[in-house]
Every structure is written in structure tokens, then in C-alpha cells.
């Protein structure tokens, strides 16, 4: 795909597909308008492509962009970027992508068209899936505690010991 004649949105998708950090920065910092959540015909955004292609150089820049929606679903199979991240074959890269999306606020509860959440896509028997599963479960547990108001804040722990006695 040539950049000539392409819209800023199309150029952004191409940059994420090819891990072209320079082009991503040019678009994000440029004066021409673009839509960070622009979806192509399949419903993929630049974030979907960055995750699917392992474009780590582009990922952080996309996530730092105001209004970047980390939970948009594709038209093809209703996958979110987190659904795609848990399916990356390189286990180290997969772990990085999952952690990065969770830190950006990605939801684990969204189901794809097959009714699977991201954790459902992991094999319970594959050792290489275990660490990602643990990260997802840990984050999910923290979300549930936070939703219930049970988290202890740093201010609640005066000396770090959990006790206020001298």
C-alpha cells in the first residue's frame, strides 16, 4: 500500500501493521486530522493491527493518544485487542501485550462472536499459557475487589506493617 493518496486513517493503519513508529508519530503529532479509533472494513483499528502484528514500537504511542478505545471489537469475529493479544504465538511478546492492554484499561469481560472472553482463548493445559492466565486472573481479582471497595490504599498503611501500634 502506497502512502500517496491514502487518508491519515489509512496511513495510521498501515503504520501499525508494519511497526513504522516514525509514521505513527508523524500522524499523531501532525496537523492533519485523524481518528485514532478508525476501523477498516474488517473493523480493525490501528491498535488491533499493532497487537496482531506485535508492533510494540507503535503500541505505546497509540495507547497514549487521547480517546484511544482499547475495547473496540472487529466486525469479523468481534475480537478486542485483548482477544488478539492472548493469541500471539511468542509467549514473551504475548505477556507484554496483555499486560500493556490491561494497564490501559482493557476489559476482560467482553465476549467475541463465539462467546469467548480473552481468558477463554487460553489453553488450560499449555504451560506457555499459564503465565498469561495468571496475569489475567490477578487483574480480574483486583478489578472485582476495587468494584466492591475492598482495596486498601497506600494511605491506609501508615508504616507498611498493617498496624498502627508503636
Predicted confidence at residue 54, as pLDDT, reads 96
18 conformational bin, left if phi > 0, alpha if psi -120 to 50, beta if neither: alpha
C-alpha cell read off for 9: 486513517
CA distance 76 to 56: 23
Place of cell 498493617: 162
Please report, in tens digits, the pLDDT of each residue of the chain (166 residues total): 444 578 999 999 999 999 999 999 999 999 999 999 999 999 999 999 999 999 999 999 999 999 999 999 999 999 999 999 999 999 999 999 999 999 999 999 999 999 999 999 999 899 989 999 999 999 876 655 444 554 444 444 444 444 444 4
Predicted confidence at residue 149, as pLDDT, reads 52
CA distance 60 to 156: 32
The answer for residues whose C-beta is within 8 angstroms of residue 87's C-beta and 6 or more apart is: 94, 121
Predicted confidence at residue 159, as pLDDT, reads 46
Predicted confidence at residue 140, as pLDDT, reads 77
- Positive/negative CA dihedral, 15, 19, 27, 100: positive
- The angle, 0 to 180 degrees and rounded to 10, between the axes of the packed helices 56-64 and 46-53 is 150
Residue 119: half-sphere exposure toward Cβ, Cα within 13 Å: 15
- Burial bucket for residue 82 (CB in 10 Å: 0-12, 13-18, 19+): buried
CA distance 30 to 155: 42
Predicted confidence at residue 90, as pLDDT, reads 96
Domains of the chain: 1-69 (1.25.40.20), 71-142 (1.25.40.20)
| Other Cβ atoms within 10 Å of 129 Cβ, number | 17
Amino acid at each position: 500500500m502506497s502512502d500517496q493518496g491514502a487518508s491519515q486513517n489509512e496511513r495510521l493503519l498501515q503504520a501499525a501493521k508494519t511497526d513504522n513508529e516514525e509514521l505513527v508519530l508523524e500522524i499523531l503529532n501532525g496537523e492533519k486530522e485523524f481518528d485514532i479509533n478508525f476501523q477498516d472494513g474488517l473493523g480493525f483499528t490501528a491498535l488491533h493491527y499493532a497487537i496482531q502484528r506485535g508492533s510494540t514500537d507503535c503500541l505505546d504511542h497509540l495507547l497514549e493518544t487521547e480517546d484511544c478505545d482499547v475495547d473496540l471489537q472487529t466486525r469479523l469475529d468481534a475480537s478486542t485487542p485483548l482477544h488478539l493479544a492472548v493469541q500471539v504465538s511468542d509467549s514473551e511478546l504475548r505477556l507484554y501485550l496483555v499486560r500493556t492492554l490491561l494497564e490501559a484499561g482493557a476489559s476482560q469481560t467482553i465476549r467475541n462472536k463465539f462467546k469467548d472472553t480473552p481468558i477463554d482463548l487460553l489453553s488450560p493445559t499449555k504451560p506457555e499459557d499459564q503465565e498469561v492466565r495468571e496475569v489475567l486472573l490477578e487483574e480480574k481479582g483486583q478489578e472485582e475487589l476495587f468494584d466492591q471497595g475492598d482495596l486498601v490504599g497506600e494511605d491506609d498503611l501508615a508504616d507498611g506493617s498493617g498496624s498502627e501500634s508503636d
